[in-house]
């Protein structure tokens, strides 16, 4: 089957206005270039279905075309905010981008069951708002929440800033609806908290980055809204102090600790430089190489939350874990403090192309890992600037690198990225960590995975991929090569 026949079939399925083709008057950059601006691909077409049945029909049409030798494949896309070049087409011009953009309806909010069932194309921020309006917390919070979608969150098993209390997206998901690589619809949208009837199909698709099927709907957990939320921003003498403070915060606040983020001074200085309207506390404080944002969500009252926070900070200061701290007086200030943390990736993007690592290490080993790896990087890549921050409460660091001041960033990336990655990933392995805690593998790390995962694990993954997608039409070249 030729591409033109396939395109005609796709137009019949979704309507001609929802099959977008690149042309001089139709720039598809938002669909074909990744968020970090690292790669721009070429799409055969961008197809925008508005129902699960349409998604199934598209996959069937592509599978038939592929079988007939066209070589077409499918790249599912949500908000296109992924960090590992996984949601945009390659340069071949043989891939269609299947955008979930138009599938953005809330299907059911079940207050009694504490669940919300949604189309996969619902934007995270809207989901949070719908739950909030119904008196619930949807506890997933990412800097990209204005654009990223529930299907994208599920497919990357996204983390964010509330994982320390509520877990990754996987932990929030109770059921999925998926279109398989054959174009069948698997309807597993149960809101059950317990179901032991065989293999967990849901967990296969979560974190699969669109390589096994297309998530079209999901049933997700909601939580009660807290009575009060307090945020503190603290200056610390070291990363060791941050780990001690985390332990203390867990002891004092228990399940009330809903956020614990660490930020190195250089990361904060980028926010100060690129967003000077933001007032960054303790910026440049010479004896405080790290700052931390802590969030205390209290089910009792604001007074209770304040008293808890005071006791925690007092004890932490006495022990020398905290040098100084500010506590937000109101919601506006709280948002401002969170905004500083959330602005770091945007400030880094303003500073220029960079190397990102979303690694995880056992929390207790993080200070030693950073000491040793900082020193090795300084020796091997003199002048490279370390942008170190992240979700310390989850043992997950964004241990990023910016080219030396004044250097050509693109040249630095091209010549040094492989060496930098090897050094960092090898150290991660020495510390029994993972080379990706959040962003996934995509096409950026697909070549690295076999080196850092056991041959047995790789073969099990290949077996699953071959069984579920024997034609290799679902996001080929991402996560795993078969």
CB nearer ligand FAD, residue 321 or residue 356 = 356
**379 token code pair:** 């020796």
User: Per CB under 6 A, does 140 bind ligand FAD?
Assistant: no
Near ligand FAD in 201-230, by CB under 6 A: 209-210, 214-215
- Residue 301 Cβ vs Zn ion, minimum distance, rounded to whole Å: 31
Among 9, 13, 32, 35, binds ligand FAD (CB under 6 A): 35
User: Per CB under 6 A, does 80 bind ligand FAD?
Assistant: yes
User: Per CB under 6 A, does 421 bind ligand FAD?
Assistant: no
CB nearer ligand 2HG, residue 261 or residue 298 = 261
**Backbone torsions φ then ψ of 460, nearest 5 degrees:** -60, -40
Q: 391: closest CA among 286, 301, 300, 257?
A: 257
Near Zn ion in 383-442, by CB under 5 A: 438
Give CA–CA dist 384/266, Å, rounded: 12
User: Per CB under 6 A, does 76 bind ligand 2HG?
Assistant: no
- Residue 358 Cβ vs Zn ion, minimum distance, rounded to whole Å: 6
Which pairs with CB-CB distance under 8 Å and at least 24 residues apart come from 427-433?
A: 427/369, 427/372, 427/373, 427/376, 428/357, 428/359, 428/361, 428/369, 428/452, 431/361, 431/362, 431/365, 431/368, 431/369, 432/361, 432/362, 432/365, 433/359, 433/360, 433/361, 433/362, 433/365, 433/369, 433/395
Closest residue to ligand 2HG, judged by C-beta, is 345
- Residue 33 Cβ vs ligand FAD, minimum distance, rounded to whole Å: 12
CB nearer ligand FAD, residue 172 or residue 316 = 172
Adjacent-strand bridge partners of 399: 388
- Residue 462 Cβ vs ligand 2HG, minimum distance, rounded to whole Å: 28
Binding mask 344-383 for ligand 2HG (x = CB under 6 A): -x----------x---------------------------
Question: Applying CB under 6 A, which part among 153-161, 180-188, 317-325, 406-414 lies near ligand FAD?
Answer: 153-161
User: Per CB under 6 A, does 143 bind ligand 2HG?
Assistant: yes
- Residue 445 Cβ vs ligand 2HG, minimum distance, rounded to whole Å: 14
Question: Applying CB under 6 A, which part among 75-83, 187-195, 275-283, 331-339 lies near ligand FAD?
Answer: 75-83
User: Per CB under 6 A, does 256 bind ligand FAD?
Assistant: no
Question: Applying CB under 6 A, which part among 20-28, 149-157, 376-384, 409-417 lies near ligand FAD?
Answer: 149-157
Angle between helices 409-430 and 366-380 (to 10 degrees): 140
User: Per CB under 6 A, does 120 bind ligand FAD?
Assistant: yes
Q: Cβ(442)–Cβ(152) under 8 Å?
A: no
User: Per CB under 6 A, does 398 bind ligand 2HG?
Assistant: yes
CB nearer ligand FAD, residue 160 or residue 433 = 160
Total binding residues toward ligand 2HG, as defined by CB under 6 A = 7
Binding mask 437-466 for ligand 2HG (x = CB under 6 A): -x----------------------------
Q: What does 356 interact with, of ligand 2HG, ligand FAD, Zn ion, none (CB < 5 to 8 A by kind)? A: ligand 2HG
Buried b (16+ CB within 10 A) or exposed e, 198-229: eeeebeebbbbbbbbbbbbbbbbbbbeebebb
- Residue 433 Cβ vs ligand FAD, minimum distance, rounded to whole Å: 16
- Residue 31 Cβ vs ligand FAD, minimum distance, rounded to whole Å: 10
User: Per CB under 6 A, does 81 bind ligand FAD?
Assistant: yes
Binding site for ligand FAD (CB under 6 A): 35, 75-83, 86-87, 100, 120, 142-144, 148-149, 151-153, 155-156, 158-160, 209-210, 214-215, 345-346, 438-439, 442, 475, 478
Which residues bind to Zn ion, rule: CB under 5 A? 438
Could you list the residues that contact ligand 2HG (CB under 6 A)?
A: 143, 345, 356, 390, 398, 400, 438
């Amino acid at each position: 089957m030729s591409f033109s026949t396939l395109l005609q079939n796709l137009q019949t399925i979704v309507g001609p206005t929802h099959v977008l083709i690149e042309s001089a008057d139709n720039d598809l950059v938002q669909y074909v270039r990744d968020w970090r601006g690292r790669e721009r691909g070429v799409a055969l077409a961008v197809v925008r279905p508005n129902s699960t049945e349409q998604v199934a029909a598209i996959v069937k049409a592509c599978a038939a075309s592929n079988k007939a030798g066209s070589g077409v494949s499918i790249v599912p896309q949500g908000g296109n905010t992924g960090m590992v070049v996984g949601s945009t087409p390659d340069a071949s011009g043989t891939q269609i981008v299947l955008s979930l953009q138009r599938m953005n309806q809330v299907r059911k909010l079940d207050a009694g069951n504490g669940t919300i069932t949604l189309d996969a194309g619902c934007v995270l921020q809207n989901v949070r708002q719908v739950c909030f309006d119904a008196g619930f917390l949807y506890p997933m919070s990412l800097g990209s929440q204005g654009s990223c979608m529930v299907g994208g969150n599920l497919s990357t098993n996204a983390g964010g800033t509330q994982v320390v209390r509520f877990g990754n997206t996987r932990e929030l998901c109770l059921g999925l609806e998926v279109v398989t690589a054959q174009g069948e619809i698997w309807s597993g949208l149960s809101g059950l908290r317990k179901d032991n009837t065989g293999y967990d199909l849901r967990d296969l698709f979560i974190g699969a980055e669109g390589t096994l099927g297309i998530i079209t709907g999901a049933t997700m957990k909601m939580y009660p809204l807290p009575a009060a939320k307090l945020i503190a921003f603290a200056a610390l003498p070291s990363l060791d102090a941050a780990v001690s403070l985390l332990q203390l915060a867990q002891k004092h606040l228990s399940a009330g600790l809903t956020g614990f983020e660490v930020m190195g001074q250089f990361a904060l200085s980028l926010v100060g430089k690129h967003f000077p309207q933001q007032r960054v506390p303790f910026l440049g404080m010479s004896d405080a190489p790290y700052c931390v944002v802590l969030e205390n969500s209290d089910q009792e009252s604001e007074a209770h939350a304040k008293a808890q926070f005071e006791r925690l900070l007092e004890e932490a200061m006495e022990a020398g874990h905290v040098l100084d701290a500010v506590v937000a007086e109101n919601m506006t200030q709280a948002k401002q403090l969170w905004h500083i943390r959330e602005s770091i990736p945007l400030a880094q993007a303003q500073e220029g192309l960079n190397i990102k690592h979303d690694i995880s290490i056992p929390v207790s080993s993080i200070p030693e890992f950073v000491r040793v790896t900082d020193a090795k990087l300084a020796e091997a890549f003199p002048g490279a600037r370390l942008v170190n921050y992240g979700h310390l409460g989850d043992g997950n660091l964004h241990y990023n690198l910016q080219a030396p001041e004044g250097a050509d960033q693109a040249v630095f990336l091209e010549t040094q990225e492989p060496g930098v990655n090897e050094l960092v990933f090898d150290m991660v392995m020495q510390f029994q960590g993972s080379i990706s805690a959040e962003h996934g593998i995509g096409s950026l790390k697909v070549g690295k995975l076999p080196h850092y995962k056991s041959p047995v694990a790789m073969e099990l993954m290949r077996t699953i991929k071959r069984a579920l997608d024997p034609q290799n039409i679902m996001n080929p070249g991402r996560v795993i090569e078969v």
